[in-house]
Amino acid sequence: MKVLFLTGNKNKVVEANQILSNLGYEVEQFLVDGLTPEFIEPQSSSIADVSEFKIQQALELISETESSNNALLVEDSGLFIESLNDFPGVYSSYISKTIGNEGILNLLVDKSNRNAEFRAYSILYKNGKYFRALGISSGKISTQIKGSNGFGFDPIFIPESGDGRTFGEMTDHEKSSKSHRGESLRILYDELSHPSK
């Protein structure tokens, strides 16, 4: 069975494939006529609400045959910085594209508290059933941009469970073993493996 992932972000698809392929699922970006369909992200302060909205849009876009043969996946994620009252949070995508990593480091110049959290809320729809999972990766914002792997805020995020390197300095495999997305997909993986739980 394939998992069709409604996202404009190919990095998310790669990470999801690494985890769900162990279960025999092949994750593909959900495209309509070869293009990422336009979908709306509602203004909300909750990544769970944004994900619920995304899955409803995915169900509207998918044909009946496609949805009976495949599972559908959506995810909303973000970086939540403690001393900035959880900013950029649900605005992470926009902030990453505008002020970027340098902008975030500038906002934290005078702050001694650099605690932050990445969160990912995933929803998978399969055969009429919804599976939902929140993953969290706690850590700190670095003082410098380090590493060029991954995407978005990876070069400024040092996970607590690591060895001091940023996600941007880790291989894909190392990152997904510690990441919010990895955690949320591993929870989904468990639920899919034990559907009676």
The contact set with ligand ITT (CB under 6 A) reads 7-9, 12, 41, 76-79, 92-93, 96, 118, 150-154, 167, 179, 181
Nearer to ligand ITT, 131 or 168 (CB): 168
User: CB 195 → ligand ITT: shortest distance, Å?
Assistant: 25
Place of tokens 């997904």: 176
Cβ-proximal residues to 64 (8 Å cutoff; 6+ apart), any chain: none
User: CB 58 → ligand ITT: shortest distance, Å?
Assistant: 11
Structure tokens at 45: 């302060």
On the 0-12 / 13-18 / 19+ scale of CB atoms within 10 A, 175 is: buried
Q: Catalytic residue numbers?
A: 76
Distance CA 25, CA 70 (A): 10
Q: Do residues 129 and 139 lie in contact, with contact meaning Cβ atoms separated by under 8 Å? A: no
Closest CA to 72 of 11, 139, 124: 124
User: CB 137 → ligand ITT: shortest distance, Å?
Assistant: 8
Nearer to ligand ITT, 170 or 192 (CB): 170
Nearer to ligand ITT, 12 or 146 (CB): 12
Closest residue to ligand ITT in the complex (CB): 152
